[in-house]
Structure 1
Amino acid sequence: MPERNIEFGKYGARGVKGHEAVARQLDALASFIATSITARRGLLARLHYLTRTEHARQAAREVGLTVTDRTLKAWLDGRRSPSKKNLERIETAYRTVRRHNVARYLLARLNREGRGTRVEFHPLNQSQVDRPRQRVVTYRTLNVRHWDRIVEAWANDDEAALDDAWISDAVVDLGSEWGQYEYVTNIGFAA
């Protein structure tokens, strides 16, 4: 696509890719468990979430949490603690299952029956860029009406697909200046 930044930050500009900011915002809307997995309470909350239904158990197995029921019961009873590697697997499984469970709800909430959601683009930080090289980039808003591919890529944790969906379904609607908003300080939307 034209206007893709090849050497972002070469002159000191700072920011993140737009799709990364969107993923952070969607994660915040998904409201993951706040307590750390290293705390007993956080571990138990994640394990209960992953074991309360057969569907959740199957999804956890598919993403790599393959422990026996006996081991799982020992973790829940507090007789044994998961290893560091298993803690990472539990966290990954929890986030993946949670994303898939809330994706349909978020999609309906963001699409709002075709009305869409207003998105705020906060431009990249150019305070470290020399004056002659600074671009005139302003705060912009846009109403995004089609969130299907964006939410699907986020739920599948597919960064390349999320980047492609975000650029082609949202950012290009900013007009001929859309390349200036590939990197941003923040993306904001309240759904």
Structure 2
Amino acid sequence: METMPERNIEFGLYGAQGIKGHEAVARRLDDLAGYVATPITARRGLLARLHYLTRSDRSRDRARDAGLTVTDRTLKAWLEGRRSPSRANLARIERAYRAVRRENVARYLTARLNRAGRGTRIEIHPLNQSQVDRPRQRVVDYRTMNIRHWDRLVQAWAAGDERDLDDAWVDQIVDLGSQWGSTSTSPTWASRPD
């Protein structure tokens, strides 16, 4: 197995711009998760998140596990509009909401992306090397590949485990060869998953 550069050198050391491949995968999975679009700072966005986190005892337990440890009385006051969460509590609500939402949609996303063994085709683009000195630039074209097994990627994303997500991503792209082992990559979906 080849070693990916983001693991053994400083990412972007010579001026290349972009994000690591596993971070791009996480962003795309976040897009597919369908989070509430209204910001949490708007009353409607706050209520949507609170209702999602309090709709059942199981949801409340999972929200507590994700770091939302306020009392039921406080939650009720927020829902009724008698009190407003502090900035720190807004951040906790958002983190808990995203964690619970990822956990809830993980199985659906895995099935959707695996497509009964057909997988999902993605495009992989190299980092932007326009700011890198010519002798250090590498010629790397974008590639497409079909990922058939999304289980480990989605599981690591749902758990919020960045290291495991990185490992799972590297396991998927290692077959692209030395051209892609020489530069970090950023995936985008070539077509919307069915």
TM-score normalized by structure 2?
A: 0.92
Shift of 1:71: 1.1
Distance 1:100 1:114, change over 3 A: same
Where does 1:51-90 land on structure 2 (aligned, <5 Å)?
Answer: 51-90=54-93
Correspondence for 1:2: 2
Distance 1:72 1:7, change over 3 A: closer
Structure 2: how far apart are the matches of 1:23 and 1:180? Answer: 22
* 3-state SS in 2 of match to 1:28: helix
> For residues 108-130 of structure 1, what are the alpha-carbon distances to aligned partners after superposition, in whole Å with 9 as ceiling and x for unaligned?
00000111100110111011112
Name stretches of at least 5 consecutive residues in structure 1 with no aligned partner: none
Distance 1:165 1:145, change over 3 A: same
Where does 1:41-190 land on structure 2 (aligned, <5 Å)?
Answer: 41-168=44-171, 170-180=172-182, 182-184=184-186, 186-189=187-190, 190=192
Number of residue-to-residue matches in the alignment? 189
* 3-state SS in 2 of match to 1:23: helix
The alignment-based identity, stated in percent, is: 70
Per mean C-alpha deviation after superposition, the further-off stretch among 27-36 and 62-71 is 62-71
**Is the Cα–Cα contact under 8 Å of residues 4 and 170 in structure 2 kept in the other structure?**
no
Name stretches of at least 5 consecutive residues in structure 2 with no aligned partner: none
Per mean C-alpha deviation after superposition, the further-off stretch among 157-166 and 1-10 is 1-10
TM-score normalized by structure 1?
A: 0.93
Structure 1: how far apart are the matches of 2:114 and 2:84? Answer: 42
> For residues 123-169 of structure 1, what are the alpha-carbon distances to aligned partners after superposition, in whole Å with 9 as ceiling and x for unaligned?
1101111222211100100000111110000000010010001111x
Letter in 1 for 2:96: A
Structure 2: how far apart are the matches of 1:181 and 1:174? Answer: 11
* 3-state SS in 2 of match to 1:128: coil
Letter in 1 for 2:162: E
Root-mean-square deviation (CA), in Å?
A: 1.4
Shift of 1:27: 0.2
**Is the Cα–Cα contact under 8 Å of residues 121 and 181 in structure 1 kept in the other structure?**
no
Structure 1: how far apart are the matches of 2:120 and 2:89? Answer: 38
Structure 1: how far apart are the matches of 2:183 and 2:31? Answer: 21
